Amino acid sequence: DQQVKQNSPSLSVQEGRISILNCDYTNSMFDYFLWYKKYPAEGPTFLISISSIKDKNEDGRFTVFLNKSAKHLSLHIVPSQPGDSAVYFCAASPPGSGNTGKLIFGQGTTLQVKP
Amino acid sequence: DTEVTQTPKHLVMGMTNKKSLKCEQHMGHRAMYWYKQKAKKPPELMFVYSYEKLSINESVPSRFSPECPNSSLLNLHLHALQPEDSALYLCASSQEGGGGGDQPQHFGDGTRLSIL
């Protein structure tokens, strides 16, 4: 039973345009949502997060939007750069995990930004 | 440059061997994690240590044995592994055991493990 889903395995975007990566979840009690980026042969790198009590968080070119009624979040990258090409994982922090650090990851979306 | 260092980067071992994976962080984090990642899959949590005590064991087989000698070090001892255990093993750390948005987990680059 996948609690965090990324339904698009891959996305291709032209340099300079907007990249939108989507994530759906089933548990309305998740506390936090996080996005990680992963290059080949490297570990995941934390990008940005959002608390379940907010609907938007912005950090430079990265913005995460949370729609709690739809149980959906998205990561917007504007403008997209070739160096953004990587696998992006959505992750959620289950309720009661505040002291344990448990994260549930989606399957990942491979983003390719073409020059 | 990653602030969580994992050694070795690659490991090939037979099913009867005993080996250890090592992880080190010097960020003063008090929670450390082991994950397993298969190709084209998300990381799967194996163990969580909080303040050097094991707080989560995700029903991992006993052929994987974690150890946290101090707040900066985390080991994963391997014995009698199976070919299906071949994967990327990732270590992570966070300030406390939260790992949520206010205390995100920082990952190492992993150890690529192959079982012959």
A91-109 pLDDT per residue, tens: 998 776 555 678 899 999 9
User: Which pLDDT belongs to residue A31?
Assistant: 84
Q: Which helix (H) or strand (E) holds B113?
A: strand B111-115
User: Which pLDDT belongs to residue B111?
Assistant: 97
Contact status of B87 with chain A (Cβ, < 8 Å): no
Give the model's confidence band at A10: pLDDT under 50 very low, under 70 low, under 90 confident, else very high: very high
| Interchain contact, B40 vs A108, CB within 8 Å | yes
Q: From CA B23, how far away is CA B18, in angstroms rounded? A: 17
A18-60 pLDDT per residue, tens: 999 999 999 998 889 999 999 988 899 999 999 999 999 999 9
Q: From CA A57, how far away is CA A63, in angstroms rounded? A: 6
| Interchain contact, A44 vs B43, CB within 8 Å | yes
Residue B5: list chain A partners with CB under 8 A. Answer: none
Contact status of B21 with chain A (Cβ, < 8 Å): no
pLDDT at B95 over 60: yes
B72-94 pLDDT per residue, tens: 999 999 999 999 999 999 999 99
A1: tokens are: 């039973």
| Interchain contact, A42 vs B109, CB within 8 Å | yes
Helix/strand/coil (H, E, C) string of A28-80?
CCCCEEEEEEECCCCCCEEEEEEECCCCEEEECCEEEEEECCCCEEEEEECCC
